[in-house]
Amino acid sequence: MIQQQLQVLNQDYGGRFQFVMAGTTRQSNPSWFNTGPSSPSQTAMKNSLRRGGPESLNIYTTSLGNSLFGYATFPTSYSSAPKDDGVVIDFGTLPGSSTQGYNRGKVTVHEVGHWLGLYHTFQGGCSGPGDYVSDTPAEASPAGSCAVGRDSCPGAAGLDPVRNFMDYSNDACMNQFTAGQYERMLTYHQMYRNTGAPQPAPPKPTKTPTKPTKPTKTTGPTSGGVTAGARCGAFGSNQCSSGTMYVCGGNAPHTWQVWYTGC
């Protein structure tokens, strides 16, 4: 599962970011394994296990429950809470695991997107700047399964981006980031994760609210705090001994080494 997840990350980030396995360890701690956002057990887990600086992607696999698949922190939060930085996912979402519809590793892809500065495609609904990426069509609410052709913002250009990794579609449906999303992630990487030095936020492009025609696509939270970028869904209870995963960064631009601790 670990190597499969690594392959999924590298495939879905299309060479713009590369993830390299550096080692594997395991923890046996039921309290950490059954942790949740903002809980004392999560604080203890991260304080003990986090490795590296702002460039180091720490991913913890746990049993989240409460219909929560995962959550992440944003790069802008690192300077104020460096130990809290990282991604937490339910182990049942790893490739080949037990969460029906969400067991191809795309939850981790989604959460790493938040860690690199992306918002949900449905951020802000049909009005305003939305996710601050100009080439993702506005979306009123999260997509369910794979509602290709849905148009929840008929007054805005484009159909809902249900195949985008930053929506809530099922794993089989999601297969793309846009050029604007890659640009935003690279910008946030350079500003907040390449050196860790706090700098002014990058410019925020706005969406064009209306256009006369709508292209058809056939293929396809708020910042701050540990709950930023939460990914929710319905799945049954699973059991595993315990686990946590962390991914530590290398020195090459946009490249990370991967350390895994988990079930």
Catalytically active residues are: 111
CA torsion 227-229-230-233 (nearest 10°) is 170
Q: What is the DSSP letter of 162?
A: T
Query: 114, 74 in Cβ contact below 8 A?
Result: yes
What residues pair up with 17 in beta bridges, in sequence order?
Answer: 14
d(CA 101, CA 189): 30
Phi-psi region of 251 (alpha: psi -120 to 50; beta: other; left: phi over 0): alpha
Helix axes 2-12, 106-115, angle to 10 degrees: 60
For residue 51, what are its two tokens?
A: 């490795």
d(CA 94, CA 102): 8
User: What DSSP assignment string belongs to 144-160?
Assistant: -S--TT--S-TTSSS--
The burial of 67, by beta-carbon neighbours within 10 Å (0-12 exposed, 13-18 middle, 19 or more buried), is given as: exposed
